Structure 1
Amino acid sequence: MVSRTVKVSGGVFVVVVIIVVVGVLTWALIDHDHGIKEKIYSVEKLVPSSSLHDTVPVFTKIHGVGNMFWWFHHTRALGFTHDHPVILWLDGVTGIPPSLLANFGMFGMYDINLERRPDSWINRYNLLFIDAPLGRGFSHPLSIDKIPNNIDEAAEHLVITLESFYEVMIHFKNTPIYVFGEGHGAQLALALVQKLHQNGDLGMVKGVILGNGLVAPAQTLSKLGFYLEELAYIDGNGRQAIENLTNMISTAEITGRPDLAFELFQTLGHAVNEEAGAVAVNLGHIVQKLTKQSPDGAQDYFGQWEYLQSIDKKLNTNTMNIIIRPMLGVSTTIFYDVHRQHVVNAFRNTLMVPAVDRVEYILNNTDIPVTIYNGNLDAVSNTPGQLEWVNNLNWLGQSAFLESPRLPIFVNGLLEGHFRNSTGLQFYWVNVAGQSAPLDNPVAMDTILRGIIKD
Structure 2
Amino acid sequence: MEILIAAVLLSLCTGSGGHPSHQYGNIENRMKYSGSEGTEEWAYVNVRHSAHMFYWLYYSMAPAGFHNVPLVLWLQGGPGGSSTGFGNFEELGPLDVSLKPRNTTWLSLASLLFVDNPVGTGYSYVDRDDAYATNNDMITRDMIVLLEAFFMKADPQFQKVPFYIFSESYGGKMAASISSGLKMAIQSGQIKCNFKGVAMGDSWISPVDSVMTWGPYLYTNSLVDLPGLEQINVDANKTKQLIDEGKWKDATDQWSATEDLVESVTHGVNFYNILKWGGSEIQKGYKKNISSKLARLFHLMVAPFEQDDLDKLMNGPIRQKLKIIPENVQWGGQSENVFTKLSGDFMKPVANVVDQLISNYTDLDVIVYSGQLDLIVDTLGTEKWVHRMKIAPEFIKSTRVPFVDPVSGFVTGYLKKKDNFSFYWVLGAGHMVPADNGSGCLMMLKLIFSP
TM bucket normalised to smaller: 0.7 to 0.9
CA distance, structure 2, for counterparts of residue 425 and residue 384 of structure 1: 18
TM-score (norm 1): 0.85
CA RMSD of aligned residues (A): 2.6
Identity in percent: 24
What are the equivalent positions in structure 2 for 1:227-266 lying under 5 Å apart?
227-266=217-256
Query: Which residue does the alignment assign to 1:364?
Result: 359
Preserved contact between residue 270 and residue 280 of structure 2 (Cα < 8 Å): no
What amino acid does structure 2 have at the position aligned with 1:168? A
Query: Which residue does the alignment assign to 1:3?
Result: none
What are the equivalent positions in structure 2 for 1:203-352 lying under 5 Å apart?
203-274=193-264, 277-290=265-278, 293-296=281-284, 299=297, 306=304, 314=309, 316-329=310-323, 330-352=325-347
User: What is the Cα deviation at residue 125 of structure 1?
Assistant: 0.6
- SS of the residue aligned with 2:412? strand
CA distance, structure 1, for counterparts of residue 162 and residue 372 of structure 2: 30
User: What is the Cα deviation at residue 119 of structure 1?
Assistant: 2.9
What amino acid does structure 2 have at the position aligned with 1:179? I
CA distance, structure 1, for counterparts of residue 252 and residue 219 of structure 2: 24
Query: Which residue does the alignment assign to 1:416?
Result: 412
Preserved contact between residue 272 and residue 430 of structure 2 (Cα < 8 Å): yes
> Aligned pair 1:129/2:114, yes or no?
yes
User: What is the Cα deviation at residue 303 of structure 1?
Assistant: 6.4
Query: Which residue does the alignment assign to 1:41?
Result: 25
CA distance, structure 1, for counterparts of residue 134 and residue 48 of structure 2: 18
CA distance, structure 1, for counterparts of residue 150 and residue 367 of structure 2: 24
TM-score (norm 2): 0.86
CA distance, structure 2, for counterparts of residue 388 and residue 351 of structure 1: 19
Preserved contact between residue 116 and residue 124 of structure 2 (Cα < 8 Å): yes
User: What is the Cα deviation at residue 52 of structure 1?
Assistant: 7.3
Preserved contact between residue 80 and residue 335 of structure 2 (Cα < 8 Å): no
Preserved contact between residue 22 and residue 46 of structure 2 (Cα < 8 Å): no
Distance 1:291 1:79, change over 3 A: closer
Distance 1:428 1:210, change over 3 A: same
Preserved contact between residue 131 and residue 138 of structure 1 (Cα < 8 Å): yes
2:181 pairs with one of 195, 210, 230: 195
Distance 1:204 1:243, change over 3 A: same
What amino acid does structure 2 have at the position aligned with 1:324? I
CA distance, structure 1, for counterparts of residue 222 and residue 68 of structure 2: 49
- SS of the residue aligned with 2:78? coil
> Aligned pair 1:434/2:430, yes or no?
yes
Preserved contact between residue 80 and residue 121 of structure 2 (Cα < 8 Å): no
> Aligned pair 1:392/2:380, yes or no?
no
User: What is the Cα deviation at residue 191 of structure 1?
Assistant: 0.8
CA distance, structure 1, for counterparts of residue 334 and residue 311 of structure 2: 12
Distance 1:127 1:240, change over 3 A: same
> Aligned pair 1:169/2:155, yes or no?
yes
Higher deviation after alignment, 106-115 or 321-330 = 106-115
What amino acid does structure 1 have at the position aligned with 2:128? S
Query: Which residue does the alignment assign to 1:383?
Result: 379
- SS of the residue aligned with 2:83? coil
Distance 1:439 1:353, change over 3 A: same
What amino acid does structure 1 have at the position aligned with 2:242? A
CA distance, structure 1, for counterparts of residue 96 and residue 384 of structure 2: 36
Distance 1:165 1:255, change over 3 A: same
Preserved contact between residue 371 and residue 427 of structure 2 (Cα < 8 Å): yes
Tell me the number of residue pairs that the alignment of Structure 1 and Structure 2 aligns.
Answer: 415
What are the equivalent positions in structure 2 for 1:24-173 lying under 5 Å apart?
39-43=23-27, 44-46=29-31, 54-94=39-79, 96-166=81-151, 167-173=153-159
User: What is the Cα deviation at residue 37 of structure 1?
Assistant: 8.9
CA distance, structure 2, for counterparts of residue 189 and residue 254 of structure 1: 24
Preserved contact between residue 298 and residue 339 of structure 2 (Cα < 8 Å): no
User: What is the Cα deviation at residue 53 of structure 1?
Assistant: 5.3
CA offsets, 1:325-357, max 9 Å, x none? 111012221101111111111111111100011
User: What is the Cα deviation at residue 407 of structure 1?
Assistant: 1.8
Gaps of 5+ in 1: 1-25, 29-35
Preserved contact between residue 211 and residue 374 of structure 1 (Cα < 8 Å): yes
CA distance, structure 2, for counterparts of residue 137 and residue 303 of structure 1: 15
User: What is the Cα deviation at residue 304 of structure 1?
Assistant: 6.6
> Aligned pair 1:454/2:450, yes or no?
yes
What amino acid does structure 1 have at the position aligned with 2:86? L
CA distance, structure 2, for counterparts of residue 348 and residue 53 of structure 1: 40
User: What is the Cα deviation at residue 360 of structure 1?
Assistant: 1.0
CA offsets, 1:235-277, max 9 Å, x none? 1111111111111111111111111111122234321122xx2
CA distance, structure 1, for counterparts of residue 197 and residue 257 of structure 2: 34
User: What is the Cα deviation at residue 170 of structure 1?
Assistant: 1.8
User: What is the Cα deviation at residue 39 of structure 1?
Assistant: 3.6
User: What is the Cα deviation at residue 318 of structure 1?
Assistant: 2.7
What amino acid does structure 2 have at the position aligned with 1:226? P
CA distance, structure 2, for counterparts of residue 301 and residue 372 of structure 1: 27
Distance 1:332 1:214, change over 3 A: same
- SS of the residue aligned with 2:251? helix
Distance 1:63 1:254, change over 3 A: closer
CA distance, structure 1, for counterparts of residue 436 and residue 248 of structure 2: 31
Higher deviation after alignment, 210-219 or 403-412 = 403-412
CA offsets, 1:55-88, max 9 Å, x none? 1011112351311000000000124422221000
